[in-house]
Amino acid sequence: MKRNRSLELFDTARTLIPGGVNSPVRAFGSVGSTPFFVRKASGSRVWDEDGNRYIDYVASWGPMILGHAHPAVARAIAKAAKGGTSYGAPTVAEVEMAARITGAFPSMELVRMVSSGTEAAMSAIRLARGYTGREKILKFEGCYHGHADSLLVKAGSGVATLGIPGSPGVPKGLAELTVTVPFNDLAAAKTAVRKHGKDLACVIVEPCAGNMGLVPPAPGFLEGLREITEAGGIVLIFDEVISGFRLRFGGFQDLAGVRPDLTCLGKIIGGGMPVGAFGGRADIMALLAPAGPVYQAGTLSGNPLAMAAGLATLRVLKNDADYRGLERRTRRLCDGMKALFHRKGIPATVSRRGSMFTVFFTDREVTDLASALRCDTRLFARYFNAMLRHGVSLPPSQFETAFVSFAHGPDDIDRTLEACGKALAEI
């Protein structure tokens, strides 16, 4: 495997961009390596600048559920671009996207488009504060809701990867408004609500956590959060930026049967373009400007290219997607890896939900951030680099989620398991 061109590009990038990358986990620092630079992608594969080809399970961190460069999405983007790339004015596509989202998520009676998941979570929290007149928020350790100041306290994703407990630059006063408890610990959440309830504007949670690795909710956890928030007049926010349209068309909340007050979406609804959205109960959303006093705005919100790509993706998912078939392929992959780890005597567990999975290098079940942090990250790094040498691209962090797309066929699964066997023999 050649890496010369990528190494040269990374050396140059570090003289121009902090750390050489525009998002920290991409630097491959936690796996003791340097990143490959992508030249192109198609279907389930990506190619780097040295001509190496990889089966891709990063999927741009989730949105490429149809695979890379899906023909319907590419055509939609090209067609939209011919009419201009941004207007700063309403379009039909925005109305169509709102109708598609509200139709899929009954809890989202009104929806506002933004340009990223970070904006969606930040705006939903501002709205919850405006609605309740309260200032504090409750979040769960290891859940990542973007890099807004209040949300970096005990966050997952790159924050966990880099071993950062919070972040310099976050004012102490803002951090003090964020209450954190362990994910899946309903008793701790109840205690926090009893202590801070009169000051809590919202509880925000990934209903299926994907930013400390994949950690599904324990039975009764989400139902319990719904109960205590309703009783306390607290807004319940589901961050489905990752899980929205990933596990089923109506998101994880449809799977769980729990209806939040507000929901954050992103990734898949942009078909690979920068996008985000938040929405929920009409009485809460009606407080957003210009209908109400809570201000939120964005020049590129509802960007026509993002709307075109997202609508094309959702049309395919609505009309042609076999979610059960995708889950079966993912289960075969994960079961195969489990068998290989067991055969080699390597302590590892594979967490899976739908088409999302994480290999945790620990012999214990991972249920929260504390148990995720007990994983052998050095062993993960050796595994990651060995898989890469054998043509499989996984997320370069123990604390991220991998994704299987509809473009991954049986041959991809077979090749991945073959690579896994070779990698384990090497580590």
**From start to end of 162-259, where are the E strands?**
178-182, 200-205, 235-239
Annotated catalytic residue 295 = no
Mark whether 383 is an active-site residue: no
Rounded alpha-carbon distances, angstroms, from residue 197 to 124, 154, 202, 284: 19, 20, 9, 19
Tokens at 98, concatenated: 């709102």
Structure tokens at 93: 């596509």
Residue 399: how many other CB atoms lie within 10 Å: 28
Residue in 144, 261, 368, 412 annotated catalytic: 144
Strand locations in 310-362, DSSP E?
349-353, 356-360
Question: If residue 110 lies in a helix (H) or strand (E), which one and from where to where?
Answer: strand 110-114
Q: How many helices (H) and strands (E) does the chain have?
A: 15, 14
Tokens at residue 118, please?
Answer: 């970070």
Nearest partner of 399 among 214, 139, 167, judged by Cα: 214
Instruction: Out of 239, 261, 368, 412, pick the active-site residue.
Output: 239
Task: Tell me the sheet residues that pair with 140.
Answer: 181
Do the beta carbons of residue 197 and residue 234 sit within 8 Å?
yes
Q: Is the CB of residue 44 less than 8 Å from the CB of residue 55?
A: yes
Whether 144 is catalytic: yes
Burial (CB count <10 Å: 0-12, 13-18, 19+), residue 260: buried
219-236 per-residue burial string, b: 16 or more CB within 10 A, e: under 16: eebbebbbebbeeeebbb
Give the integer Cα–Cα distance in Å for 418 and 353. 22
Question: Rg of the chain's alpha carbons, rounded to an integer?
Answer: 21
- Of 48, 261, 267, 412, the catalytic one is 267
Active site residues: 144, 239, 267
